[in-house]
Structure 1
Amino acid sequence: MLQTLRSKILFYLLLISMIGILLVSFFIQWGFEASFKSYLDRNREKKIERVIVEIEKDYKKNGHFTSDPVFNLLHEHAMTDQLYFQLFDRFGRLQMDSSKIRGMLNSLGLTEPVTIGEEWHTKSYTLKVDQTVIGKLVAIYPEGLIDDEHTFLQTIQLYIYGAVCLTIVLAILFSMLFSKKLTLGLKKLSFAANELQQHNLSVRIPLVGLPTEVKDLAISFNNLAESLAKEEMLRKQFTGDLAHELRTPLTTLRSQIEAYQDGVWEPTHERLQQSHEELMRLVRLVNELEKLLAAENPQIRLEKIELEAGSVLAALWDMFLPVFNEKGVHLDIVEPGEEEMFFADKDRLVQILSNVLNNALKYTVEGKNVRISVLTNEEGYVGFQIVDEGSGIAEDDIPHIFERFYRGDKSRDRKTGGVGIGLSIVKALMDAHQGMVKVKSTVNIGTSITLWFPREIKN
């Protein structure tokens, strides 16, 4: 019992609704009955006061008690309100008694007979004229409600009970609808999660009609499913690209070796050199994969030390100036105006900057420029910005350039000898440093890559 979320929500909604309805109905009924009885008591007191005023006025006018019009007033209250009076003079002698009318009405069947145990209440009032006591008036009336009053109160109670029953029915209906609507999104999420577990990566949760909290959860799930689908696509693409990268040199080597074996080719120095180049291409590919796996290893240990950006630029100048001069590309290094200190693993830093500079050199033609400078920001980072005047990257390709083997131009890396892993290594190492990579590029104009390193070691 109460195993599902919907049953629990439904139970507690109904429990709270029932408690609220019962408490409200109790207080309404109790408050109305008390207010109604208070109203009847005040109304009775007003009637008694009216009788007293009429008796005192009549006595003052005539000098003694007269039967008209006082008795008519007492008779009226006895007939309509079951309010009876006994009038005594100052010597205690009974002058008028309307209580006898009840017995007469009972004998005629005009009122209900007196029930056993019925209680009557009496209350005495002193009569005065000009501060002189002229007698006493005793009011007699039944405890509780009389016939019409009791009927009226029962009618009101019946309406309250009807309203309570209707409210309970509505509470049940709306609780069922609300619990169903609230759990509908969770059921959709559960179904989609099961589909995702069955490797249905195309499953998505419709967002229409979901509560805000569940909608946020559904959006997160859809983003997760989309990310998994993208990762699956990249995995398949990586497998295909890797097989392609391996197949090309292996096919070439196979054909060359078979040619040597069949005596078609003589193993001359030039042909052996070609075979060696294909073999080295395989070696480079394996080495790059090993570097990528090492960079993406979550257990990678970085030996972070405090470095100065200017000295890093000087080391890059000595390292890369010969290869830039050999290709005829101008390397421009902008020294920082003051010392800029940051923390990084020196060997990994050189690996990161070397990969980016090698890429800039590959895609920058002779006579063009590559510039590297140091930037700072107010968020506690020091950046190395490498700007080239190369072929640039299409806007649609920029989000994917850090993926393994990704090529916007499928033939571009082959022409330059790359295997499409260098920037993947850069991204993995930057993540290990808790740094950031920002890329801007325009086709046929150039590319700007900024590598941000933290000034302090982060936990």
Structure 2
Amino acid sequence: MSAQTWLARQRTDAGLSTRLLVAQAMVLMAGAATSWVVASLVAPGIFHDHLVQAGAGHSAAETVHIEEAFSSALIISMAVALLTSVLMALLVTGYFTRRVQRSTTHVSHAAARIAEGQFGARVPNPGLGPEFDQLATTINDLAERLGDVEGTRRRILADLAHEMRTPLATIEAHLEALEDGVRTLDEPTLAALHGGTQRLHRLAQDISAVSRAEEGQLDSRPVRTNPQVLLESAAAAAQDAYDAGQVRLAVEASGAVPDVHVDPQRIGQVLANLLENALRHTPPGGSVWLSATRPDNHWVELDVTDTGEGITPEHLPHVFERFYRADPARRHQPGSSGSGIGLTISRALVEAHGGGLSVHSAGQGQGATFSIRLPAAHG
């Protein structure tokens, strides 16, 4: 914020507080003057009537003196009382005016910082009533929301820059080799170029999907669905890839498992990602099976279990992070079309349905189980 802008806002804030104080002072002075005039006109007459009704034996001069004494005492006491009341009221008004001024200044400064991209700015609770509290809460929520969106944007840009290096380097190396005559445009070269472009395309799609999911902007059409149908559909779609990889894929028959209220396409995408991940890390001759269970009356669990490489304990908490491949037991194998954020997308999709995605593994070489927990449909 420039110095001129800050000074202008300070003048605006000072003008507002001054106007409020002057307005309150005028109201108080008008009320005090009105009270003084009315008391001066009405009170002496009432006193005179009471004095006459009392029938006290006073001469005319004494009566006039008594009435003048009463009027003087009344006027002086009223003036002192009203002046004191006005001063006290002005002090109280000034105090609250300054509080309002500080609150509006905090709001304006926080809004200016947020507009400049400082999303950590917050408005303190003004303590001036529910209206001001709601205003502060709304601005703070807005700042937090904008900060989350900005954080997501920065992470996406960083992730893209990191992940695009490998396919771009591969494409560039092959193109340079073609230009230098080191390689010819044969089938392996075309396959490498196509593989690099496909991975870039998959990366762009997955980044877009996970961003929409984390920001709650997914187009979802939930319907009542049988969990067994979800598992069998996912297994049927992945069967050819599993046959090619010589990995056994099976769907266990479930018992009395209630329906779930989900978007079949989105949960099918989650299961496809988990099955692709399981195939990537299960050697030929291994097995992957799908199952549905009912841990309690409120939830349904869909499990994808493999007999593959497993996950070491220190890396389990990071499995769902974008592009996390630090664990050699779950490495990204050459030639894979995965973007590195399939599990991140899966978790975001499941959470968008009000559920959760977790993983369990006994360690390296012990396989892994990914569990999708979804709310059971009732009624």
Structure 1, unaligned stretches of length 5 or more? 48-76, 83-101, 103-111, 113-141
CA contact (8 A) 1:407 1:420 kept: yes
Q: What residue in structure 2 maps to residue 70 of structure 1?
A: none
Provide the rounded CA distance (Å) in 1 between the counterparts of 2:28 and 2:343. 62
Q: Partners in 2 of 1:200 and 1:287 — Cα distance?
A: 28
Of 89, 102, 108, the residue aligned with 1:190 is 108
1:244 to 162, 171, 175: 162
1:391-422 CA distances to partner (integer Å, 9 max, x unpaired)?
Answer: 37979769x84xxxx24555778625432443
Match of 1:179 among 75, 81, 97: 97
Equivalent residues of 1:334, 1:374 under 8 A apart: no
Q: CA deviation at 1:164?
A: 0.6
* Cα drift, residue 201 of structure 1: 1.6
Paired residues for 1:28-427 under 5 Å? 36=47, 40-41=51-52, 44-45=54-55, 77=57, 81-82=58-59, 145-197=63-115, 199-202=116-119, 204-205=121-122, 207=124, 210-211=127-128, 213=130, 214-265=132-183, 273-288=191-206, 306-320=224-238, 326=245, 333=252, 335-337=254-256, 340=259, 342=261, 344=263, 346-359=264-277, 372-373=291-292, 383-386=300-303, 391=311, 401=321, 406-409=322-325, 415-416=332-333, 417=336, 418-423=338-343, 425-426=345-346
- Alignment counterpart, residue 436 of structure 1, candidates 354, 375, 379: 354
- The structure-2 alpha-carbon separation of the partners of 1:254 and 1:301, relative to structure 1 and needing over 3 Å to count, comes to closer
Cα deviation, residue 267, structure 1: 6.7
The amino acid of 1:415's aligned partner reads: H
The answer to whether the 8 A contact 1:249-1:281 is kept is: yes
Secondary structure of the residue aligned to 1:419 is coil
What is the CA–CA distance in structure 2 between the aligned matches of 1:282 and 1:230, rounded to whole Å?
Answer: 26
Which amino acid in structure 2 is aligned with residue 231 of structure 1?
Answer: V
- Determine if contact 1:387/1:448 at 8 Å carries over to the other structure: yes
CA contact (8 A) 1:328 1:367 kept: yes
Letter aligned with residue 340 of structure 1 = D
Secondary structure in 1 matching 2:332: helix
Whether the aligned pair in 1 keeps the contact of 2:355 and 2:372 (CA below 8 Å) is yes
Q: Is the 8 A contact 1:437 1:451 kept in 2?
A: yes
Residue of structure 2 equivalent to 1:55: none
Instruction: Report the secondary structure of 1:237's partner residue.
Output: helix
Contact (CA 8 Å) 1:394, 1:442: kept in 2 or not? no
> Cα offset for 1:455?
7.1
Q: Are the counterparts in 2 of residues 288 and 421 from structure 1 also a CA contact under 8 Å?
A: yes
RMSD over equivalenced CA pairs, Å: 5.0
* Whole-angstrom CA distance in 1 between matches of 2:281 and 2:40: 88
- Secondary structure of the equivalent of 2:372? strand
List alignment gaps of at least 5 residues for structure 2.
1-11, 364-368
Q: Secondary structure at the match of 2:121?
A: coil
Shift of 1:453: 8.1
Greater shift after overlay, 304-313 or 155-164? 304-313
Would you say the 8 A contact 1:313–1:335 is kept in 2? no
Preserved contact between residue 10 and residue 176 of structure 1 (Cα < 8 Å): yes
What TM-score results when the alignment is normalised by the length of structure 2?
Answer: 0.66
Change (3 A) 1:369 1:167: farther
Shift of 1:184: 1.9
Contact in 2 for aligned 1:294/1:300 (Cα 8 Å): yes
Structure with bigger strand share is 1
Amino acid at match of 2:162: H
Residues 332 and 370 in structure 1, CA contact (< 8 A), matched pair in contact too: yes
The offset of 1:205, in angstroms, is: 3.5
- 1:151 offset after TM fit, Å? 0.8
Aligned residues between the structures: 351
Distance 2:50 2:289 in 1: 98
Amino acid at match of 1:373: A
CA contact (8 A) 1:348 1:429 kept: yes
Higher alpha-carbon Rg: 1
Displacement after TM superposition at 1:189 (Å): 1.2
Specify whether residues 217 and 361 from structure 1 end up closer, same or farther in structure 2 by C-alpha distance, changes over 3 A only.
farther
Normalised by the length of structure 1, the TM-score is 0.57
CA–CA distance in structure 2, aligned partners of residues 250 and 212 of structure 1: 58
Superposed CA offset, 1:165-221 (max 9, x none): 222233233323312311321222122222322x33255245276535435533442
1:187–1:270 Cα change, 3 Å: same
Q: Which has the higher contact order (CA 8 A, sep 6+)?
A: 2
Question: Which of the pair is proportionally richer in helix?
Answer: 2
- 1:450 and 2:373 aligned: yes
**What amino acid sits opposite 1:419 in the alignment?**
S
Separation in 2 of the partners of 1:12 and 1:217?
25
Task: Measure the CA separation in 2 of the matches of 1:309 and 1:215.
Answer: 46
